Structure 1
Amino acid sequence: MTDDTRGSVATAAGPPPHGFDERRAETPLQRLQHVLHARPILGPLAVLVLAIIAFSFVSDRFLTAANLGLVMQQVTVIAVLALGQTLVILTAGIDLSVGAIAVFSSIIMANLATDLGLPGVPALLAGIVCGTAMGAFNGFLVTRVALPPFIVTLGTLSIFFSLNSVVSRSETVRGTDMPSIMTWTGTAFSIGDLRITYGSIIMLLLFGFFYYALGYTAWGRHVYATGDDIEAARLAGIRTGRVLFSVYLVAGLVYAIGAWILIGRLASASPNVGIEYNLNSITAVVLGGTSLFGGRGLVLGTLVGALIVGVFQNGLQLGGVDVVWQGFAIGLLVLVAVSIDQWIRKVRA
């Protein structure tokens, strides 16, 4: 095509309107939709910052170092469990056995150390191996038996909680009866007036590790690809079955580490806790901007989501709000977060 021909074609088509810019044609709401789609963590961060500012006016004690340290301690267990839940949800799955695996792992650790007299470190490692095996069992049923994750983990929720009652005989094991390593995660150290537990440090290290693993390794890219479109991932050569199995196995490992932190937090191993952990872990994931439809989200967003829950519960408590209304506020946040997620997913390419 000659230059004259190209010129005539351009003239026939007509030049674009002076100053026309497709991005400028978007409304402010559409621009926000694009920004949140590209950077999903911005929404949860904005909610967290606004909540902190609001509750600082509700109570003078909220922004004190002692109270902020308490919030961190309160969210540590849920944040770790939500980290494992994030891995599963990124693959468009769901894990309802989170609390059951964590509590059962803690009971195994405690009973091996007290009833069988196993030293602290071997008992701890045995409990972590058992938690990992429970996650692997979930992964086996999802990948090999091809059962839906919801059904699989709903069933194992009942199985693990039942086994938990049998092994524990519905008795709580006191921290004073265990080796010190079992409750070490609940030990706190001070930075000025701020008290931080070693469990919180383990939590932050876990989030840092999985931030790197999901963002900068082939495994992480395969996890996102599998959750976004499992058929397309399979056609691209990704062994999606192995990816899914590895996700449930690793999630079980994370839950077992959460069990160790749970023992330190409670200074005991109780079979009567954990009923609310499933809902709380999913809440933290959703508030953190991870899509329930898979393929989109960040583990750092999950940490922010857990902090949002902790800040709201603590701030409302300091404000004298009844526990019932605290649950109402968190539930409302979840509905808003899911609605925003669906809105963001409709963004135009």
Structure 2
Amino acid sequence: MIARRLAFAGPLVALLIACTFFALQSPRFLTGANLSLVLSQVMVVGVLAIGQTLVILTGGIDLACGMIMALGSIVMSLLAVKHGWHPAMAIAGGMGVTTIAGMINGLLVTRIKLPPFIVTLGTMNIAFAITQLVSRAQTFTDLPPLLTWLGQSVWVGNTPIAYGAVAMLLLYALAFVVLRETAAGRHVYAVGSNLEAARLAGISTNRVLLSAYMLSGLCAGIAALLSIARTSVGDPQSGQTENLDTVTAVVLGGTSLFGGRGIVLGSLVGAMIVGVFRNGLTLMGVSSVYQILVTGVLVILAVATDQWSRKA
């Protein structure tokens, strides 16, 4: 428990330092409107990072989550716009597709015993190809209001906060409680710490792994809805960087890439760190190329710190 708190404290301190630095560089940074913008910008990656955290805690990785999200958004848009489905049914259909994609990943990992890296790398390309074929590389517009509702805002004082950002925070609260207070959550940590020991202790390791990948797929479906709500279109080109962005958020949040150690709230902090850096550097007029450079350096530092702590 103490180790988890320390792992969470480091990213939180880094976030506070980053916020302080950018506040000194730009007077616009700490305004309510700008901080609300940062929250809206990270809500898609933030929700994807919940599923990614579950998978990484079990010792795996999901490189396909971004493209599965794109597939889900196209399915929702296609069913609602082209086929005239009720928006609620279209949303359910898109989330069903992403959950099934996650289940396929889990079955390949648990039944055929393929490495998660290879499995999800392959399904990432498959999801991309299916997305392009189904959509014919076309963007869907004129979406029903229910699909874009989460992009609207509730006003807190003079600050607008997107409903999607509120939904993201509620999902993190739910994931935190489940991982900390339930037997299923403890099984996730046990499988990631030592798969064989967990099996000998009577834990159904295959079920835990399959559930983690299916939940990652479900998170991709929710993120697909948030992506549509934020942009008001179904874009087949979306999701191409989100897979690595989620890994970045999870690693920066203190979750070990080797599994068994981490806290889901840290992934939220990690996503916020990336969002704050990109927003702050934009306010400073720094080129987007340098923003990517800084993100890469942060990932390397986070992984190096993780390995050092494991050896210590």
TM-score, structure 2 normalization: 0.98
Shift >4 Å, 4+ stretches: 34-38
1:295 and 2:260 correspond: yes
Q: Aligned match of 1:158 in 98, 114, 125?
A: 125
1:83 and 2:61 correspond: no
Residues 36 and 244 of structure 1, relative CA distance in 2, 3 Å threshold = closer
2:13 counterpart residue number: 46
Letter in 2 for 1:294: G
Gaps of 5+ in 2: none
1:326 Cα deviation from its structure 2 partner: 0.9
Aligned residues: 312
1:200 counterpart residue number: 165
Residues 36 and 222 of structure 1, relative CA distance in 2, 3 Å threshold = closer
2:230 counterpart residue number: 265
Q: Partners in 2 of 1:37 and 1:226 — Cα distance?
A: 17
Counterparts of 1:80-229 in structure 2, within 5 Å, are 80-174=47-141, 177-229=142-194
TM-score, structure 1 normalization: 0.88
Q: Aligned match of 1:310 in 265, 270, 275?
A: 275
Asked if the contact 1:287–1:333 (Cα under 8 Å) also holds between the matched residues in 2, the reply is yes
1:188 Cα deviation from its structure 2 partner: 1.2
Q: Describe the superposition over 1:255-308 as per-residue Cα deviations: whole angstroms up to 9, x where unpaired.
A: 101100010011101001211111111000000000000000011000000000
1:37 Cα deviation from its structure 2 partner: 6.2
Letter in 2 for 1:101: I
Output the aligned Cα RMSD.
Answer: 1.2
1:21 counterpart residue number: none
Q: Partners in 1 of 2:41 and 2:84 — Cα distance?
A: 31
Asked if the contact 2:71–2:236 (Cα under 8 Å) also holds between the matched residues in 1, the reply is yes
1:329 and 2:304 correspond: no
Identity of aligned residues (%): 51
Asked if the contact 2:53–2:250 (Cα under 8 Å) also holds between the matched residues in 1, the reply is yes
Asked if the contact 2:67–2:238 (Cα under 8 Å) also holds between the matched residues in 1, the reply is no
Q: Partners in 1 of 2:5 and 2:126 — Cα distance?
A: 40
Partner of 1:92, secondary structure, is coil
Letter in 1 for 2:170: L
Residues 301 and 37 of structure 1, relative CA distance in 2, 3 Å threshold = closer
Q: Partners in 2 of 1:229 and 1:274 — Cα distance?
A: 32
Q: Partners in 2 of 1:294 and 1:122 — Cα distance?
A: 36
Q: Partners in 2 of 1:35 and 1:296 — Cα distance?
A: 12
Partner of 1:195, secondary structure, is strand
Partner of 1:335, secondary structure, is helix
Residues 170 and 61 of structure 1, relative CA distance in 2, 3 Å threshold = same
Q: Partners in 2 of 1:130 and 1:51 — Cα distance?
A: 38
Gaps of 5+ in 1: 1-33
Asked if the contact 1:78–1:306 (Cα under 8 Å) also holds between the matched residues in 2, the reply is yes
